[in-house]
Amino acid sequence: MKEQQTAALLEALGSQAQQASYQLASLSSQQKNRLLKAIAAALTENSDTILAANQEDISQAKENGLTPALIDRLLLDAPRLKAIIADIDNVIALADPIGKEFDNQLLDTGLRLSKRAVPLGVIGVIYEARPNVTVDIATLALKTGNAVILRGGKETLNSNRVLCQVIRQALTSLDVDANAVQLIDNPDRSIVSGLLRLDQYVDMIVPRGGQHLQRLCAEQSSIPVILGGIGICHLYVDEHADLEKSIDVIANAKVQRPTVCNALDTLLVHRLVAEEFIPRICQHLHTLGVRFVGCQQVLDIVDAQSELSQVIDMQLVQEGDYDQEWLGLTLGIRVVETIDTAICHIRRHSSGHSEAILTDSVHKASHFMNQVDSSAVYVNASTRFTDGGQFGLGAEVAVSTQKLHARGPMGLEALTTYKWLAWGDYTSR
């Protein structure tokens, strides 16, 4: 695509989205919910077309030799589509954060001042694979009165095109500007770079994808970016931990769903319990299919038990292993001298997502909570809880690992901002 064409396309996308955002900002909660209902109905009505389009993506994926795991992520079948549509009902049921006024004050000058929650405006979302994100993000954005520009993965281009078309038709049927939801369906990569510089029109960029995408956005975007979804998560087994109870929590954190961001990556074990605990936890996790990379001390402990060392898959940790988000059944294990060694390890290697301590000592628990600065810090619980649904947010836009605007699981409020409103009587300063 020529540079000029790209620029014109981006200019159109941006200005259309902004224009649509003005209308969306003035819709009532009921109007927005009617819109979401219409979208759910339209998706149901057009199920066959949607599934057929997805089949094209799947055929293409098979032709291109994608792995079965990845193909499964792309797949939409009737039950999955139904679940996606059912999720819209959940979004309808959520309270609308928009329009709320708060922090009201009467100032000495006579001004009546308040803040009002308003939509951000235009949100750009760049995501990979799963076509459910298209519906998910579009509905969350509309619920909060925001326009969206979507850029999905090329692997689901056909599915996304049809999904977006159906959503836009539903908007039009209720006299809402269809440009409230726009899809960039041109696979040219320069469009992503262009989108990241469209600060005149776009208020926030949400990259939902791997490390590479996150870095690209952080480095190239002139628009505020919500980084997230990368979890290098730690669990520290303190000398005062109940070792028996700890085993289940660690197993839950590691194997319940190893491919997600809140799954456990590195286990830190206090030296005073290492000799007793490490063989037990390795034995248990091994039966669940886990392989290990451990520090020299871990290897020594395991090697001392020749039966165990012969069955489990244990490698010496390599440079960079502690900075890996494993997204699979590998677990790093390290013996630490003290709780502060564990905290230092976490500060150095964590992505700021979720960390936990297992201990019966209140003192140690508090110290860990105070000193570890990640989006979620747990005492005696699995890192797997870091999730919008679990945290009672009703929806999850993303899990932010940065500190500004929103941290951890992001609900609808993260798609809002506020403006200050002041009523005077021809008041001067």
- Smallest gap from Cβ 317 to a second copy, in A, equals 21
Identify residues 86-115 at the interface with a second copy (CB under 8 A). 105, 107, 109, 111, 113
Closest-CA residue to 18 (of 116, 161, 125, 149): 149
Q: Select the residue interacting with a second copy from 147, 333, 336, 358 (CB under 8 A).
A: 358
| Contact in structure between 58 and 155 (CB atoms under 8 Å) | no
Q: What is the distance between the alpha carbons of residues 264 and 355, in angstroms, rounded to a whole number?
A: 9
- Smallest gap from Cβ 27 to a second copy, in A, equals 11
Task: Compare residues 39 and 126 and give the one whose CB is closer to a second copy.
Answer: 126
Site string for a second copy, 247-266 (x = CB under 8 A): -xx-xxx--x----------
The stretches of 231-294 forming alpha helices (DSSP H) are 243-255, 271-287
Task: Compare residues 64 and 366 and give the one whose CB is closer to a second copy.
Answer: 366
Identify residues 206-245 at the interface with a second copy (CB under 8 A). 218-219, 222, 224-225, 242, 245
Q: Select the residue interacting with a second copy from 35, 36, 377, 398 (CB under 8 A).
A: 377
Q: What is the distance between the alpha carbons of residues 268 and 271, in angstroms, rounded to a whole number?
A: 9
Which residues are paired to 105 by β-bridges?
Answer: 113
**Binding flag, residue 420, a second copy (CB under 8 A):** yes
Which residues are paired to 410 by β-bridges?
Answer: 398
- Smallest gap from Cβ 385 to a second copy, in A, equals 6
**Binding flag, residue 376, a second copy (CB under 8 A):** yes
Task: Compare residues 273 and 379 and give the one whose CB is closer to a second copy.
Answer: 379
Q: What is the distance between the alpha carbons of residues 200 and 244, in angstroms, rounded to a whole number?
A: 57
Identify residues 273-332 at the interface with a second copy (CB under 8 A). none
| Contact in structure between 61 and 71 (CB atoms under 8 Å) | yes
- Smallest gap from Cβ 73 to a second copy, in A, equals 21
Task: Compare residues 156 and 374 and give the one whose CB is closer to a second copy.
Answer: 374
Task: Compare residues 109 and 296 and give the one whose CB is closer to a second copy.
Answer: 109
- Smallest gap from Cβ 38 to a second copy, in A, equals 24
- Smallest gap from Cβ 376 to a second copy, in A, equals 4
Written as six digits, the tokens of 285 are: 């996790």
Phi-psi region of 426 (alpha: psi -120 to 50; beta: other; left: phi over 0): left
**Binding flag, residue 62, a second copy (CB under 8 A):** no
Task: Compare residues 155 and 355 and give the one whose CB is closer to a second copy.
Answer: 355
* Helix orientation angle between 339-349 and 362-371, rounded to the nearest 10 degrees: 20
Torsional sign, CA 243, 249, 255, 258? negative
Q: Select the residue interacting with a second copy from 4, 26, 30, 306 (CB under 8 A).
A: 26
Task: Compare residues 21 and 46 and give the one whose CB is closer to a second copy.
Answer: 21
Stretch that binds a second copy, among 59-67, 177-185, 280-288, 399-407 (CB under 8 A): 399-407
Q: Select the residue interacting with a second copy from 33, 165, 382, 401 (CB under 8 A).
A: 382
Closest-CA residue to 64 (of 136, 164, 193, 156): 156
Stretch that binds a second copy, among 39-47, 273-281, 331-339, 387-395 (CB under 8 A): 387-395
Task: Compare residues 2 and 429 and give the one whose CB is closer to a second copy.
Answer: 429
Site string for a second copy, 173-212 (x = CB under 8 A): ------------------------x-x---xx--------
- Cα 19 from chain centre: 28
Residues making up the chain, counted from first to last: 429
| Contact in structure between 407 and 399 (CB atoms under 8 Å) | no
Give CA angle at 185 (181, 189), nearest 5°: 120
For 1, the 3-state DSSP assignment is coil
- Smallest gap from Cβ 62 to a second copy, in A, equals 34
Identify residues 112-131 at the interface with a second copy (CB under 8 A). 113, 118, 120-121
- Smallest gap from Cβ 272 to a second copy, in A, equals 19
Measured from the Cβ of residue 42, the count of other Cβ atoms closer than 10 Å reads 19
Contacts of residue 272, defined as CB under 8 A and 6 or more positions apart, other chains included, come to 239
Q: What is the distance between the alpha carbons of residues 245 and 89, in angstroms, rounded to a whole number?
A: 38
